[in-house]
Amino acid sequence: MDADVAERTEIDPAEMLGLQLEMRYRHIHATAMQNVPLCNPALGSAATGFRICGGRALGIVTTPWFMNLAAVDIAGGVQSAPVASGTSVRICLPAGEVEFIAGELDAIGRVDSCSLFSPAFEFETMEAALETAMEAVRAFFDPAALEPAAAPPASVNRRDLLWGNFRKQQELAE
């Protein structure tokens, strides 16, 4: 699998970091997390929606034991200010400021995580988990997702419509 990632040179750095995280968590699941009751046997590891935001790679990481929003420094890019593992850090996203916990991951480096689900027993299938991850990506990175839904259209009363009152109500509402 490492060779597959290395061969994909056309991939952007954020997607590459997402794939590296996915592979790293697959390895952790196959070794340290093997047979741990905290793991949901219906889930695997996946990286969803990784993109560059504020000079870092951000996206959702799903594993059998958690779903996190993750922020990772990009090699050759501006590195985050050093902080001790376990320290809270705030990162501005299009959806607003989000609190993360700083950490280190072997073979990756600094990974700041915001827990969305832990443990991840809410999901009956990997497909359901990935749908949730995509919705989370949309919520965190699409500012339009934060806009309130449009108000339902006013009900039209036939009498008001015939007497011209409907237009007056619309003008007052605007």
Q: Domain containing 32: what range?
A: 2-146
Position 36 in a domain = yes
Whether 172 maps to a domain, the answer reads no
Cα 48 from Cα 61, distance rounded (Å): 6
pLDDT in tens, the chain (174 residues): 555 554 545 779 999 999 999 999 999 999 999 999 999 999 999 999 999 998 999 999 999 999 999 999 998 888 899 999 999 999 999 999 999 999 999 999 999 999 999 999 999 999 999 999 999 999 999 877 655 556 555 555 555 545 566 555 556 665
In a domain, 13, yes or no: yes
Tell me, yes or no, whether 161 lies in a domain: no
CATH number of the domain that residue 121 is part of? 3.30.1460.40
Is residue 155 one of the residues assigned to a domain?
no
Amino acid at 170: Q
What pLDDT, on the 0 to 100 scale, is given for residue 72?
Answer: 97
pLDDT value for 78: 80
Number of domains present in the structure of the chain: 1
